[in-house]
Amino acid sequence: MFEKKGLHNELRSIDSRLQDQKNWKNHDLLNQDMKRKNFLINFLDSIDNNEHNFKDIRELLTISHNSNDKNLLNDLKNELITIEKNLTKLHLETLLTGKADSNNSLVEIHSGAGGVESQDWVAILFRMYSRWCDSRGFNTELVDQNVGDDAGYKSLTFKVRGENSYGWLKYENGVHRLVRISPFDSQSRRHTSFASVYCYPEIDNSIEIIISDKDIKVDTFRASGAGGQHVNKTDSAIRITHLPTKISVQCQSSRSQHRNKSLAIEMLKSKLYEKQIIKEEEENKKNRDQKGEIGWGNQIRSYILQPYTMVKDHRTNKQISDTSGVLDGKIDFFLENQLIKFS
Backbone angles phi and psi of 220, in degrees to 5: -115, 150
Q: Give percent above pLDDT 70 in the chain.
A: 89
Query: Are residues 255 and 343 located together in one domain of the fold?
Result: yes
The H-assigned helical ranges of 212-301 are: 229-233, 257-282, 285-294
Q: What is the pLDDT of residues 181-194, one digit of tens each?
A: 989 888 888 889 99
Number of domains in the chain: 2
Are 193 and 311 in the same domain? yes
Instruction: Give the domain-ending residue among 95, 112, 138.
Output: 95
- Quote the pLDDT of residue 118: 92
| DSSP conformation letters of 40-80 | HHHHHHHHHHHHHHHHHHHHHHHHTTT---HHHHHHHHHHH
From CA 219, how far away is CA 327, in angstroms rounded? 36
3-class secondary-structure state, position 211: coil
Whether residue 225 is predicted with pLDDT greater than 70 in this model: the reply is: no
In the structure, what pLDDT confidence band is assigned to residue 321 with cuts at 50, 70 and 90? very high
Q: Of the candidates 95, 123, 146, which is a domain's last residue?
A: 95
Q: Is the peptide bond before 244 cis (omega within 30 degrees of 0)?
A: no
In the chain, which residue ranges form alpha helices assigned H by DSSP? 4-19, 27-63, 70-95, 116-136, 165-169, 229-233, 257-282, 285-294, 323-327, 332-342
> What's the pLDDT at 206?
61
Beta-carbon neighbour count of residue 219 at 10 Å?
12
Q: Give me the CATH number covering residue 45.
A: 1.20.58.410
pLDDT at site 159: 95
pLDDT at 134: 97
Instruction: Mark whether 55 and 24 lie in a shared domain.
Output: yes
Out of 55-64, 107-116, 235-244, pick the least confident: 55-64
Domain range enclosing 67? 4-95
Q: Does the pTM of the predicted model rise above 0.75?
A: no
pLDDT for the residue numbered 283 = 56
In this predicted model, what pLDDT tens digit does every residue of 285-301 receive, in sequence order? 444 344 334 344 578 99
134-173 pLDDT tens trace: 999 999 999 989 998 888 999 999 999 998 999 999 999 9
Q: Tell me: the pLDDT tens digits for 47-80?
A: 888 888 888 888 887 777 666 777 877 888 888 8
Q: What is the CATH number of the domain that holds 296?
A: 3.30.70.1660
Pairing mode, strands 299-304 and 174-181: parallel
Position 111 scores a pLDDT of: 92
| Cβ neighbours around 233 below 10 Å, total | 10
